[in-house]
Chains A and B, each alone.
Chain A
Amino acid sequence: MSAVTVPKLVFRGGVTLPRVIRSEWTKFWTVRSTYWTLFVAAILTIGFPLLAATVISSHWGQRSPGDRAHFNPLDPALVGSQIAQLAFGVLGVLIISSEYSTGMIRATLTAVPKRLPVLWAKTIVFGSVALAFALPAVLIAFFATQSILTRHHASFSWHHPGVARAVIGAALYLVVTAVMSLGIGTILRNTAAGISTFAAIFFVLPPLMDVLPTSWNNAISPYLPSNAGRAIIQLHGGSGSLRPWPGFLLFVGYAVVALVAGAFVLKRRDA
């Protein structure tokens, strides 16, 4: 057998954050779960509102005048993004937990032994993808649903006070959800635990508050991550929720805490 020689490599510098971002970008687009989850998210964010608006429109004649007066045209437009957060949450956890379940994390951290650039790069890549995906999706959902509802004079224009903030806010909400779930996944390192924790915080905790005495519920509920974040999607800050921007900033704060805790765990614990 002939000798095996490794071809020489001309080296150009070492590990840099832009390079790690490039690597994470390729990682993101070279596994199937990405495409599945984004496909599901698209169906939920755009398809669900279209369905809702069509149903509302076809049953409009059966609504009482009171119902019509209280109808909020934003509800069908943004209902999908409320559900799509599940897809973003799952993908955020998977991006890191799948590296632990497959062992890829050992290769990743061998290439980038300083470790933290990996988490920042994942955050930048997934955050940008989430924004680039969610913003057009909610805009399409908004304009499509409003064009269906406009024949009943039950639609909002983009310039209606609070509408632009609520619609763009729905996209921002999804981006922060994505980053927060990435933080959760980095802390827990396990797909099942990560997704359960994400679902508990976003879907189980809020309704669970209803078993508390009303005064407690009213004091705590607005500050839960998902409720605080959703304040930005409300057209009018109701009595039971924080004002839009303070609420959203609190939600961002939760995401930052999750990410920083994840960074701490990633840096300190054995891989």
Chain B
Amino acid sequence: MIEARELTKDYGEKRAVDGLTFDVRPGIVTGFLGPNGSGKSTTMRLILGLDRPTRGHVTVNGKPYAQHPAPLHEVGALLEARSIHTGRSARNHLRVLGQTHGIGKQRVEELIDLVGLHEVANKRAGKFSLGMGQRLGIATALLGDPATVMLDEPVNGLDPEGIQWIRTLLRGLAAEGRTVFVSSHLMSEMALTADHLIVIGRGKMIADTSVADFVAGASKQLVHVRSPQGAALSELLSGLGATVEEVEDGMLEIGGLSAEAVGEAAAANSIVLHELTPHQASLEEAFMDITRGELEFGHSEAAV
């Protein structure tokens, strides 16, 4: 369980996180979504106490992170920025972190096996590929058997098999009753793994909702229609109050009318249709739509 209240962080003049209030609940995967630079990583650093908030506060499992006697048992984190000494082997990296909590060698070996790094565990971490580094980061996050798992862009640099592995892992962690908080700048990735979404842009909260509600709320009901009498159809539908836009040669995109209404209106006026398709905006489009508005707002604000 993560509880943030009015969380705000300024770096000099720049406000990176702006009054975020949200809860991340156990038992489900919560996606933390926003464009690059929107404040996701900063928020995670604030949760771990690596950075001190300018205003507001955040607790993990009821207490500020630093006040837990065994912090790695509360939160396991993978940060986006590499957090590994490049000269130390993967095995020794896990050992030194475990030793702060009295976690022994056997646990370290279990995690090396879990993430599939057995063959390279004695190699210096600086020689690791991006994907191997991510796997080591995930092993680090799970070292303390944490109640809350927080991963910043975990699929970055992973091959398709690795991405599949992460999705399965996240679902499994949530099913075990853990709190799972995972950030991404890719809506499509979140659609596959997350149950709940926290969407931010320019450090501000945009949406805190279930994935299904987010898609339904953000997507416009659109109809794609193709007709040899395009001009007449366009005029007819505009007359009914719909928005009409020619998206490609001969293809009209109709907003504000259902596919049934478009078909019936065309039939009543003897207009031939070659294609009539209801079009649900994709998650990525919904996300782009909602964050674009936020970015434009930001730009106009900056221009004043």
> Contact residues of A with B, CB < 8 Å?
1-9, 11-16, 19-20, 22-24, 26-27, 30-33, 98-99, 102-114, 270-271
Which residues of A have CB within 8 Å of B82?
102-103
In angstroms, Cα B97 to Cα A105, docked, is 11
CB–CB B88/A30 < 8 A: yes
CB–CB A110/B81 < 8 A: no
CB–CB B83/A106 < 8 A: yes
CB–CB A31/B164 < 8 A: no
Residues 62-77 of chain B: 1 if any A CB is under 8 Å from the residue's CB, otherwise 0? Answer: 0001101111110101
CB–CB A110/B101 < 8 A: no
CB–CB B87/A15 < 8 A: no
B203 at the interface (CB under 8 A from A): no
A269 to B, closest residue via Cβ: B52
Which residues of B have CB within 8 Å of A102?
82, 84-87
CB–CB B140/A271 < 8 A: no
In angstroms, Cα B82 to Cα A23, docked, is 20
Q: Say whether, besides A1-B164, A9-B103, A15-B100, A106 and B73 are in contact (CB < 8 Å).
A: no
B199 at the interface (CB under 8 A from A): no
A3 to B, closest residue via Cβ: B172
Which residues of A have CB within 8 Å of B93?
107
14 contacts between A and B (CB under 8 A): A4-B172, A11-B73, A14-B70, A14-B101, A20-B100, A23-B97, A26-B99, A32-B87, A99-B85, A104-B85, A104-B88, A109-B49, A110-B77, A114-B66
Which residues of B have CB within 8 Å of A103?
81-84
B103 to A, closest residue via Cβ: A9
CB–CB B97/A13 < 8 A: no
Nearest CB of chain B from residue A65's CB, rounded to whole Å: 55
In angstroms, Cα B295 to Cα A101, docked, is 33
Q: Say whether, besides A3-B172, A6-B173, A270-B52, A106 and B97 are in contact (CB < 8 Å).
A: no
Which residues of A have CB within 8 Å of B100?
15, 19-20, 23, 111-112
Nearest CB of chain A from residue B273's CB, rounded to whole Å: 44
Q: Using a Cβ–Cβ cut-off of 8 Å, how many residues does chain B contribute to the interface with A?
A: 51
CB–CB B50/A270 < 8 A: yes
Which residues of B have CB within 8 Å of A99?
85
Which residues of A have CB within 8 Å of B173?
6
Which residues of A have CB within 8 Å of B103?
9
Which residues of A have CB within 8 Å of B75?
110
B169 at the interface (CB under 8 A from A): yes
B165 at the interface (CB under 8 A from A): yes
CB–CB A111/B72 < 8 A: yes
In angstroms, Cα B88 to Cα A98, docked, is 11
CB–CB A111/B51 < 8 A: no
CB–CB B176/A5 < 8 A: yes
In angstroms, Cα B83 to Cα A33, docked, is 19
Residues 174-207 of chain B: 1 if any A CB is under 8 Å from the residue's CB, otherwise 0? Answer: 0010000000000000000000000000000000
Q: Say whether, besides A23-B100, A26-B92, A270-B50, A14 and B114 are in contact (CB < 8 Å).
A: no
Q: Say whether, besides A102-B85, A271-B50, A271-B51, A19 and B110 are in contact (CB < 8 Å).
A: no
Partner of B145, one of A8, A98, A106, A111: A8
Partner of A109, one of B50, B69, B87, B168: B50
Q: Say whether, besides A9-B107, A27-B88, A31-B88, A113 and B83 are in contact (CB < 8 Å).
A: no
Nearest CB of chain A from residue B83's CB, rounded to whole Å: 4
CB–CB B101/A19 < 8 A: yes
Partner of A15, one of B71, B85, B89: B71
Nearest CB of chain A from residue B96's CB, rounded to whole Å: 5
Which residues of A have CB within 8 Å of B81?
103, 106
CB–CB B114/A15 < 8 A: no
Which residues of A have CB within 8 Å of B97?
23, 107-108, 111
Nearest CB of chain A from residue B51's CB, rounded to whole Å: 4
B48 at the interface (CB under 8 A from A): yes
CB–CB A111/B79 < 8 A: no
Besides the known contacts A98-B85, A103-B82, 7 further A-B residue pairs in the complex with CB atoms under 8 A apart: A6-B142, A9-B73, A9-B107, A31-B85, A108-B97, A110-B71, A111-B100
A4 to B, closest residue via Cβ: B169
Nearest CB of chain A from residue B172's CB, rounded to whole Å: 5
B224 at the interface (CB under 8 A from A): no
Partner of A11, one of B52, B83, B89, B145: B145
In angstroms, Cα B52 to Cα A270, docked, is 6
